[in-house]
C-alpha cells in the first residue's frame, strides 16, 4: 500500500549494521530494537543496566529520564554538569535529577564523550536553524511527546536531554554545535539505574545536521540484571 505522507528518511540498504551485545554481563531482561525515526520507553529497575547500541554508527539517541515513582523528579542536565564540574558526559558521570539525586550512572562508554548540551531537535527549532521549508520534518520533540503521553507526560515535562552518540564540542570562544560523530557501528553506552527510572528515547530523525550521519539507523536497547 502506498502513502503520500512525506515521512523521514531511513538508512541506505548497504549501511553496515552491528547489533552488538550488552556491555555488562548479566541476565537479559529486555531486548528491543528502535527503528529509525521512532521512539521508545521502558522502566529500568534499580540496579539494572541499560545498554544502548549504536547499531549503524553515529545515530543520536535523544534521551530523557524520570523517577518512575514520581515523574516530577526528572533528569537535569545542569545538575548533572554542575555536580561533576564538567560539560561532557563520560564513564562515571552520574546522571542527576532536578533534585540533585542520582537517577543513573554511566558505567560503560565506548566513545570519547557523550552530549547533554545540544538538546533535542524539533519542528520549531528546525525552522530557526534551517528554514521554514523543513517545518514538516519529524523531530525528537515530536517523539518525546508521542512517547511521553503514554506515561502521562507532556510538554511541561520536556527538559534539556541527553544525546547518546552525538558530538557537541564547546570551543574556546564558546562556539558550540553538532559536528561529525565519534561513534561507529556497534559502539555502546551502558547506564545503571540508581532508582527505578522511566527512560524515554527518540531515535533522532534529523536530516539537516550530522547527528545521525544523515543516515538514520536503528538502536538496540538491552537491559540486564547483573
Residues at the contact surface with other proteins, assessed by CB under 8 A: 71-72, 74, 76-79, 81-83, 85-88, 98-101, 113, 117-120, 122-129, 131-132, 141, 154-161, 168, 170, 172-178
What residues are paired with 223 via a beta bridge? 30, 50
Minimal distance, residue 153 CB to other proteins, in Å: 9
Minimal distance, residue 142 CB to other proteins, in Å: 12
Of 137, 159, 127, nearest in space to 37 by CA: 137
Contact (Cβ atoms closer than 8 angstroms) between residue 57 and residue 187: yes
Say how far apart CA 122 and CA 26 lie, in whole Å: 37
Of 13 and 152, which has the nearer Cβ to other proteins?
Answer: 152
Minimal distance, residue 135 CB to other proteins, in Å: 9
Contact (Cβ atoms closer than 8 angstroms) between residue 20 and residue 55: yes
Minimal distance, residue 78 CB to other proteins, in Å: 3
Contact (Cβ atoms closer than 8 angstroms) between residue 195 and residue 99: no
Of 122 and 203, which has the nearer Cβ to other proteins?
Answer: 122
Q: Given the C-alpha cell 520536556, which residue does it identify? A: 158
Minimal distance, residue 220 CB to other proteins, in Å: 26
Of 109, 12, 116, nearest in space to 56 by CA: 12
Minimal distance, residue 124 CB to other proteins, in Å: 3
Helix (H) or strand (E) holding 64: strand 61-67
Of 54 and 62, which has the nearer Cβ to other proteins?
Answer: 62
Strand 187-193, strand 197-203: pairing:
unpaired
Of 53 and 178, which has the nearer Cβ to other proteins?
Answer: 178
Q: Given the C-alpha cell 541506505, which residue does it identify? A: 12
Of 35 and 176, which has the nearer Cβ to other proteins?
Answer: 176
Of 17 and 94, which has the nearer Cβ to other proteins?
Answer: 94
Contact (Cβ atoms closer than 8 angstroms) between residue 34 and residue 165: no
Amino acid at each position: 500500500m502506498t502513502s503520500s505522507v512525506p515521512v523521514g528518511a531511513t538508512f541506505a540498504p548497504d549501511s553496515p549494521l552491528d547489533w552488538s551485545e550488552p556491555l555488562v554481563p548479566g541476565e537479559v531482561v529486555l531486548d528491543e530494537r528502535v527503528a529509525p525515526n521512532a521512539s521508545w520507553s521502558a522502566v529500568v529497575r534499580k540496579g539494572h543496566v541499560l545498554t544502548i547500541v549504536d547499531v549503524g554508527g553515529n545515530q543520536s539517541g535523544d534521551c530523557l529520564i524520570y523517577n518512575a515513582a514520581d515523574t516530577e523528579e526528572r533528569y537535569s542536565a545542569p545538575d548533572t554538569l554542575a555536580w561533576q564540574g564538567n560539560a561532557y558526559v563520560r564513564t562515571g558521570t552520574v546522571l542527576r535529577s532536578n533534585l540533585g539525586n542520582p537517577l543513573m550512572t554511566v558505567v560503560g562508554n565506548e566513545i570519547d564523550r557523550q552530549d547533554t548540551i545540544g538538546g533535542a531537535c524539533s519542528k520549531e527549532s528546525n525552522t530557526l536553524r534551517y528554514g521554514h521549508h523543513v517545518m514538516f520534518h519529524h523531530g525528537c520533540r515530536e517523539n518525546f511527546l508521542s512517547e511521553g503521553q503514554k506515561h502521562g507526560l507532556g510538554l511541561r515535562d520536556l527538559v534539556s536531554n541527553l544525546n547518546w552518540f552525538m558530538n557537541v564540542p564547546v570551543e574556546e570562544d564558546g562556539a558550540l554545535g553538532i559536528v561529525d560523530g565519534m561513534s561507529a557501528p556497534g559502539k555502546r553506552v551502558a547506564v545503571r539505574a540508581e532508582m527505578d527510572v522511566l527512560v524515554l528515547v527518540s531515535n533522532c530523525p534529523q536530516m539537516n545536521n550530522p547527528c545521525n550521519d544523515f543516515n538514520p539507523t536503528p538502536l538496540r536497547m538491552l537491559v540486564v540484571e547483573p
